[in-house]
Amino acid sequence: MNTLGLAFQQAIDMISRGDPELVKIVLLSLRVSLTATLIASMIALPIGAATAVAKFPGRQVLIVIFNALMGLPPVVIGLLVYLLLSRAGPLGNYGLLFTPTAMIIAQTMLIVPIVAALSRQMIEDAWSEYSEQLRSLGVGLARSALTLLWDTRFSLVTVVLAGFGRAAAEVGAVMIVGGNIAGVTRVMTTAIALETNKGNLPLALGLGIVLMSLVVLLNAAAYGVKRIAQQRYG
C-alpha cells in the first residue's frame, strides 16, 4: 500500500476510534466557530435588516463598505485583532491574546460583513415585494425589519451557514491571534496546516475529512430545512 493510501486508512481509523487529540481539536474548532457565528449573527442580521428597509444618509456608503469587507483578507483581521489585544494595545490588560476568546473575536469580525451584506440583499428583495402591504397596515420600519427577518428566516439559515463555513475554514487570522498552541488554541484548519508540514498525514487527513463532513452535513441540513419550509408554507 502506498504512503497516501496508508495515511488515509490510518485517518479513518483515528476517526472511528475517536482519537483523543483529534476529538479535542474538533470540539475546540466547533466551540470557537459556532460561538463566533452566533455573535456575528446577532450583530449582523439586525444591521442587514435595518439597512434593507431604512433610508438614511450614508446608506449607500455603508452597503459598499459591507460588500468590500466581504473580501477583506483574513490576515488583516488577524493583524488588527492582534494589535488590539497585544500588551501595547488598548485591550492588552485583559490578557486575551493567544486564547480561544481572541480567535472568536477575529472570526466574528471576519463574518459580520458577510452575514450583514447577504442578509441585507435578501431582506431588501423581500421589502420590495411587501413594502406597500406593510405600509398600508401602518407597520413602522422597526417592526417591518423584524417581520421580514422572520419571514425570510429559512433563507437566512443559508446566510448564517455561509458565515459559519467562512469561520470554520479560516487559517490566517486564528493563527495570528491564537498562536496554534497545542491543547489551547489549535483548531482544525491550523492543525491541518501544521501536521501537513510535519508530515503527520493521518491526523491532517482525519481532520480534513471531519471538516468536510461537517460542511456537507450543515449544508444538507440547511437545504432540508428550506425544502420543508417551501412545502409547508409555499
What's the pTM?
0.90
Q: 3-state SS string over the chain?
A: CCHHHHHHHHHHHHHHCCCHHHHHHHHHHHHHHHHHHHHHHHHHHHHHHHHHHCCCCCHHHHHHHHHHHCCCCHHHHHHHHHHHHCCCCCCHHHCCCCCHHHHHHHHHHHHHHHHHHHHHHHHHHHHHHHHHHHHHCCCCHHHHHHHHHHHCHHHHHHHHHHHHHHHHCCCHHHHHHHCCCCCCCCCHHHHHHHHHHHCCHHHHHHHHHHHHHHHHHHHHHHHHHHHHHHHHHC
pLDDT at 129 over 90: no
Nearest Cα to Cα of residue 77 among 53, 113, 30, 37: 113
> What pLDDT sits at residue 91?
92
Question: For the domain with range 20-233, which CATH number is right: 1.10.10.410, 2.40.30.60, 1.10.3720.10, 3.40.1160.10?
Answer: 1.10.3720.10
**Residue 22 corresponds to which amino acid?**
L
> What pLDDT sits at residue 151?
87
Tens of pLDDT along 185-222? Answer: 999 999 999 999 988 889 999 999 999 998 888 888 87
Average pLDDT over residues 21-47: 95
> What pLDDT sits at residue 2?
67
pLDDT at 1 over 60: no
**Average model confidence (pLDDT) across the chain:** 90
> What pLDDT sits at residue 233?
62
pLDDT at 181 over 80: yes
User: Domain map of the chain by residue range?
Assistant: 20-233
Average pLDDT over residues 20-30: 94
Q: Per mean pLDDT, which of 30-39, 49-58, 147-156, 189-198 is the most reliable?
A: 30-39
Average pLDDT over residues 55-61: 89
Average pLDDT over residues 112-135: 90
Under 8 Å between Cβ of 173 and 227 = no
> What pLDDT sits at residue 158?
85
CB atoms within 10 A of CB 19: 18
> What pLDDT sits at residue 234?
57
> Percentage of residues in the chain with pLDDT exceeding 70?
98
Residue 16 to residue 20: CA distance in whole angstroms:
11
> What pLDDT sits at residue 140?
85
Angle (nearest 5°) at CA 66 between 64 and 70: 115
